[in-house]
Structure 1
Amino acid sequence: MSEAEIKRESVGTVVIAGAANLAIAIAKLVAGLISGSAAMLSEAAHSVADTTTEVLLYLALRRAARPADTRHPFGYGKESYVWAFLAALFTFVAGAGFAITHGVTTILVHEHTGNYLASYIVLAISFVIESISLARALRQVRTESRRWRTTPHRFLRFTADTTVKAVFLEDSAALIGLLLAGAGLGLSHLTGDELYDGIASILIGILLLVVAGILAKSNISLLVGRAVPERLHHEIERELACLETVARIDTLMTMQLGPTDILIAAKVDFHDDATGADIEAAADEAERRLTERYPEIAYVFLDPTRSLPGAIGTRARRTQDEQGRPVDQGATGQS
C-alpha cells in the first residue's frame, strides 16, 4: 500500500466515523431528552465529543499533508499531533466531564420520566452503526499491522498515525459505553431506582477519561519527538551495518516527523581505506535500501565519524532504552 493510499484510508476511516457519530449523537440526545436518562444524555455527550474529535482529526490529516517549505523544511507532519491532542482534550473536558457530573446529579436527585422505549431503540441502532465504524477501523489496523509485520496490538501501541488509533479506541469505547448505558437503563427500568442509571453515566465518563488519557499521552510523546519502535530501530541498524564500507554504526537516532514520515540520522565509522567516493556511494545505497523497504523513511543523514576508543562491534550506541534505563555504551547484544 502506497503512502497516498494510506492517507486516503485514514481520511476515509475518520470521515465514516464522524458521520456515524453525528447521526448517533442526535438520536441519543432526542432519546435522552424524552426519557430523562442520565446514561442516555451521557452517551449523547460521548457521541458529540467523538464527532468533534473526528472533525479535529480530519483537520489534523489535512494540515499535516501540506508539503514542506522553506520555513518548515521537514513538512507539517507534527501538526497532526497538535490537533489530535486537542481532540483528546475535548473528549476529556466535554465528554467525560458532562457524563460524570450528570451521573452524580442523577444519583442525588433521582429524576426520570420513565419513558424507556425510545432509549432502547436508539441504543440498538447506535450499536449497529458503531460496530460498522469499528469494523472499518479494525480492517485498517490489521492491514497496517501486516504491512509492518507486527501484531495489531503492537501496531496500535506504537503507530505514529494517531488518527487511526483515536478512531479505533473511540469506537471501541463507544460500544462499551452503549453496553453500560443499556445495563444502567435496564436496571433502573426493572427496579425503579435511578441509582443504576447514574452509575452507568459515571462509568461512561471514566471510560472517556481513560481513552482521552491514552490518546493525550501518545500525542505528547510524538510532539516531543518519539523514536521509531525498537524492532524497527534494529532493522534500520542492520541495513546500515551491511554496507560494505561501514566498519561500525557509532550512533543511530530516529524520529517520527509525522504519521508517514521518519527521519534517520547516524554517525557512521567507515573503513579507513574508504575514499570520499566510496562514502558517497554508501550513503546513496543506504538511502535506497531503507526507502525501498520502508517508504515512510523520508530523510536519511549519515555523518562519517571515527568510533570512540574502545568501541567494539558494529552496533550503534544508545543512551537509554525505552524505559529510560542507561544502556552500556559498548554493548553489542540486542536490547
Structure 2
Amino acid sequence: MATDSSNKTIFAAMGANLAIAITKFIAAAITGSSAMISEGIHSVVDTGDQLLLLLGIRMSQKPADDRHPFGYGQELYFWTLIVAILIFAIGGGMSIYEGITHLINPSPLKDPMWNYIVLGMAILFEGFSWTVALKEFLPTKGKQSFWQAIKNSKDPTVFTILVEDSAAILGLIVALLGIFLGHLFNNVYFDGIASIVIGIILAIVAIVLAKESKGLLVGESANPQTISNIRSLSKTEPGVKEVMRVLTMQLAPQEVLLNLEIQFSKNLTGEEIALTVESLEAKLRQHHPEIKQIFIEAKSLAATRQSSQSSE
C-alpha cells in the first residue's frame, strides 16, 4: 500500500494549492488577468486531484474478499488515472479556452502589482510542496535518471505530486512572463497567450501521468531489480536446478504477486520438494516483504511422473 510518506507529500501539496488558489482568484478578480484565472483553475484542479489521491489510498487499503481475492491495491492506480483525465479536461481545457476567449475579447490592462505579489507567494508555496515531493522521490530514484525513475516507480502518488508541482512552477513562470510582457509592451494579447501555454503544459503533464497510470492499472511487472533478485535467490536454494520463468504483477505500491516456474532436481522426493518450496518462500518474503502472494510451479513433477509411468 501507499506509505505514510505518500500521505505527507499529498497533504503538503494540498495545503499549498488551496492557499494559492484563493489568492490567485482574488488577484484575478482585481486585475482581470486571464493568466491568473487559468492559474487559479490550475490550483483548484490540483487540490481536487490530491483529494482523489487520498481517496485512492484509502480505497486501496480495503482487505481482500471473495470478489477481490488479491485485494484492492489497484484502486490507487485507477484514481491516479482519473486525476490525469481531470488535469487534461478541466485544467488544460479550461486554461486554453480562457486564453482563446481573452484573445478574441481582450480586456484592458490593469495595475499588475497584485498579480506579481500573488505569483511570488505562489512560487514560494509551490516550491515548498515541490521540495517535500522531491525529498520523498529521491530515495527511490537511485542512479536512475528522473524520467527512468518515474517510469519504474510503482507509487504514483509521489511522482504525480512531483510532476504536478513541477508543472505548477513552470505555469507560474509563464503567467509571470505573460503579465510582465503585456505591461512592458502595452499589449493585451500576451496575457491570453500565457493562458494557452499554461493549458498546453497541463495537457502534456496529463498525458504523461495517464500513460504511467495505465501501465500500472493494466498489470505491470515488478521493477527489473526485484525480478533479478528473485531469480538469484531462487537459484541459491538447494534442490532448485533451474529457474524457468519469473512472472510478477504489481498490485499496489508495496504489494507484488509472484508466480515462479522452477525445475527441481529429479532426485528429490515429494516431501523434499515441499520443504524446498517452503524454504524458498520464506527466503523471498524475508528479502522482499512486498511480495504478498507466491505461487510456485514445480515443472519437474510432471516430467518425473511421465518417466515413471513409461518405465512401468
Q: Secondary structure at the match of 2:296?
A: strand
Q: 1:15 aligns to what?
A: 11
Cα distance per residue 1:232-278 (max 9 Å; x no partner): 32222122122221111122210000121011101111110112222
Matched residues, number: 303
TM-score (norm 2): 0.92
Conserved? CA contact 2:265–2:300, under 8 Å: no
Change in 2 beyond 3 A, CA 1:241/1:108: same
2:148 and 2:280 map into 1 onto residues whose CA distance is 27
TM-score (norm 1): 0.86
Q: 1:91 aligns to what?
A: 87
Conserved? CA contact 2:244–2:261, under 8 Å: yes
1:285 and 1:128 map into 2 onto residues whose CA distance is 53
1:91 and 1:59 map into 2 onto residues whose CA distance is 17
Change in 2 beyond 3 A, CA 1:297/1:155: farther
1:54 matched to 2:24 = no
Q: Secondary structure at the match of 2:294?
A: strand
Cα deviation, residue 16, structure 1 = 1.4
Q: Secondary structure at the match of 1:300?
A: strand
1:69 matched to 2:65 = yes
Cα deviation, residue 19, structure 1 = 1.3
Q: 1:257 aligns to what?
A: 251
1:245 and 1:141 map into 2 onto residues whose CA distance is 40
1:37 matched to 2:33 = yes
1:214 and 1:136 map into 2 onto residues whose CA distance is 21
1:207 and 1:277 map into 2 onto residues whose CA distance is 61
Q: 2:310 aligns to what?
A: none
1:60 and 1:166 map into 2 onto residues whose CA distance is 13
Cα distance per residue 1:139-185 (max 9 Å; x no partner): 11113335xx7565433221111111110100111111111110111
Q: 1:322 aligns to what?
A: none
Q: Secondary structure at the match of 1:43?
A: helix
1:181 matched to 2:178 = no
1:9 and 1:60 map into 2 onto residues whose CA distance is 15
1:207 matched to 2:194 = no
Q: Which has the higher helix share?
A: 2
Q: 1:230 aligns to what?
A: 224
1:292 matched to 2:279 = no
Cα deviation, residue 294, structure 1 = 2.1
Answer with 251-260 or 67-76: which moved more.
67-76
1:96 and 1:127 map into 2 onto residues whose CA distance is 20
Q: 1:159 aligns to what?
A: 153
Q: Which runs of 5+ in 1 are unaligned?
A: 310-335
**CA RMSD in angstroms, aligned pairs only:** 1.9
Conserved? CA contact 1:35–1:112, under 8 Å: no
Q: 1:133 aligns to what?
A: 129
Specify which structure has the bigger relative contact order, considering alpha-carbon pairs within 8 angstroms and separated by 6 or more residues. 2
Cα distance per residue 1:301-325 (max 9 Å; x no partner): 111014999xxxxxxxxxxxxxxxx
